Amino acid sequence: MSENQHTQQDPTQQHPQPGSGDSTVPYPGRTAELDVRPDHGEQTYRGSGRLEGKKAVITGGDSGIGRATAIAFAREGADVLIVHLPEEEQDAEETVRWITEAGRQAVSVAADLRDEQQCNAVIDRAVAEFGRLDILVSNAAYQMSQDKGLEGISTEQFDRVLKTNVYALFWLCRAAVPRMEPGSVIITTSSVQAFQPSPHLMDYAASKAAIVNFTKALGQQLTDRGIRVNSVAPGPVWTPLIPATTSEEKLESFGAQAPLGRAAQPAELAPFYVFLASQESSYMTAEVLGVTGGSPIT
């Protein structure tokens, strides 16, 4: 749990609004390239043994929500395998350092999840390293803002969005479920975009809506196996992906559309992944938790 949760704070002022001090960066974006660094809970998250001995896979674990979740899981007692793109090696090494400093086993795998065989290999590697798999967090995603509307979305971009965000989830789950015992958990990362789509993120929003439906269907399908499936639907969150995929004009006001008036920090999302991974949420499956700064997900 973050120590910030123990003190009363104005949520609109808890973190400064990022974006105005940053410029766009090349995709996929690295934490070191950002002028305003995201808060992953490195200095604040305090664990309480809620995931003691668990074995987890987190895709997109090098930075952003993935790194914050990896740090939280490790401090709650889990061993963690993170998946990242080859060009994100530097950020992945930093996440690994935080996991090992928490006294847990860390494994880093470079993979392109648009490839079915690489998704299968991720699950194989986790079972080989840990002996089993208790938690799968499918978090890796791709987006690219398009101000030219429908005509600006190329078939290549559309294919990349769907392969990264939806196909990879399907492949990972299909490989993982036969390896999972009752009590295991799958957590997906959807988005407020699934419910309140932005026109410049049409393809991304569609992929996130697919994730919501996949989560609800799989959660119901796996009840007989004792495997729970839930989703976290974030609102705007400050991660390296944002300045790597957003115009400077939109970057200036990123997050301002949320009722709380600012973007979230990754550290504010991680406790929800811990909750869904732990026994505290044992009566929840096929559900979506909105962490949107006040934007509705209905």
Residues 57-86 have a mean pLDDT of 98
Q: Where are the domains of the chain?
A: 26-243+265-291
- Residue 162 makes CB contacts below 8 A (sequence gap 6+) with 203, 207, 210
CA atoms of 20 and 213, how far apart (whole Å)? 35
- Please give the structure tokens belonging to residue 202: 């049409």
pLDDT level of residue 2 (50, 70, 90 thresholds): low
Q: What is the pLDDT of residue 1?
A: 57
Per-residue pLDDT at 238? 92
Asked if residue 19 has pLDDT above 60, the reply is no
- pLDDT in the model for residue 209: 98
Helices 202-221 and 155-162: angle between axes, nearest 10 degrees: 30
List, as own/partner pairs, every contact residues 195-200 make where C-beta atoms lie below 8 angstroms and the sequence separation is at least 24, other chains included. Answer: 195/233, 195/296, 195/297, 195/298, 196/295, 196/296, 196/297, 199/149, 200/145, 200/146, 200/147, 200/149, 200/250
Residue 63 · residue 31 · CB < 8 Å: yes
Residue 83 has pLDDT above 70, yes or no: yes
* Residue 246 or residue 153, greater confidence: 153
Give the containing element (helix H, strand E) for 65. Answer: helix 64-75
- Provide the pLDDT confidence category of residue 6 given band limits of 50, 70 and 90: low
Per-residue pLDDT, 118: 98
Alpha helices in 79-232 (DSSP H): 89-101, 116-130, 155-162, 168-176, 202-221
**Residue 106 pairs with which residues in a beta bridge?**
80
Greater pLDDT, 4 or 278 = 278
* Inter-residue contact 129 to 78 (CB < 8 Å): no
Average pLDDT score over the chain: 93
Q: pLDDT by residue (tens digit) across 267-287? A: 999 999 999 999 999 999 999
CB 146 within 8 A of CB 202: yes
DSSP string, 240-273: THHHHHS-HHHHHTTTTTSTTSSPBPGGGTHHHH
Model pLDDT for residues 175-206, shown as the tens digit of each residue: 999 999 999 999 999 999 999 999 999 999 99
Which pLDDT belongs to residue 144? Answer: 93
pLDDT reported for residue 46? 96
| DSSP 8-state assignment for residue 237 | B
pLDDT at residue 97, as a whole number: 98
What architecture is the 26-243+265-291 domain classified under in CATH? 3-Layer(aba) Sandwich (3.40)
- Cβ proximity of 91 and 85 under 8 Å: no
Catalytic residues: 204
Predicted local confidence at residue 20, as pLDDT: 54
pLDDT reading at 168 higher than 70:
yes
Euclidean distance between CA atoms 196 and 183, whole angstroms: 33
